[in-house]
A and B are shown apart, each in its own frame.
Chain A
Amino acid sequence: EVQLQESGPGLVKPSQSLSLTCSVTGYSITSNYWGWIRKFPGNKMDWMGYISYSGNTNYNPSLKSRISITRDTSKNQFFLQLNSVTTEDTATYYCVRSYYGYNFDYWGQGVLVTVSS
């Protein structure tokens, strides 16, 4: 069974970087697409970006140059880094498998990240 699990700090200070890890079991990240989604307080969902089976990335332009998604295939993990965070980045962050780009069929449980001084 495919399983995804997010990990990382639950509290980040403004202007610092948010870094999260998604550990995948039951499926190789060298196949398919792997992404990050966040859910803001109030339930609005935001697609952040993905990294493909080949290592190519695609980001939401709204995040401009703040976002980076990378991977470690030897550990079957992929990562999110979001720079220069503000309180508006406070959200629950989810990692997902995007099955050939059209069905987000596996999700992690999500991790709440609060940006506060």
Chain B
Amino acid sequence: QITLTQQAESLWISPGERVSITCRASQSLLYTDGNHYLSWYQQRPGQTTKALIYHASVRTDGVPTRFIGSGSGTEFTLSIEHVQPEDFAIYYCLQTLKSPYTFGAGTKLELK
């Protein structure tokens, strides 16, 4: 199965800063249709899990433009520009290229 590695378990930042969360796959997530099957999710306590990015760089409807997905092949990044107080949460990457679908271990954004 494909392994996703999120190196940072936690990242400490201040509101207004920019942060990047990385996700590395054990094999390329590029499919023959030209899309990368890598998506990003946000989990906050007491809230439903929010889908942020799919196909590595496409924002889900309603997601603020400060959330930016990038990357290709095996290396992917979720960047958040001008972090807002509501962005302190756990972020997961997920691959849906091959079954079984697999998640990264998660990166927790914490207030510095």
Residues of A within 8 A of B (CB): 43-47, 58, 60-62, 94, 96, 98-99, 101-110
Contacts and interface: CB of A to CB of B under 8 A. Distances in A.
B60 A103 contact: yes
B: interface residue count bin = 20 to 34
Nearest to A98: B96
Classify the secondary structure of A's interface with B: strand
A109 B47 CA distance: 7
B30 interface: no
Contacts of A107: 48-51
A105 B60 contact: yes
Interface stretch (B19-27, B72-80, B102-110): B102-110
A60 B51 contact: no
B105 to A, nearest CB: 7
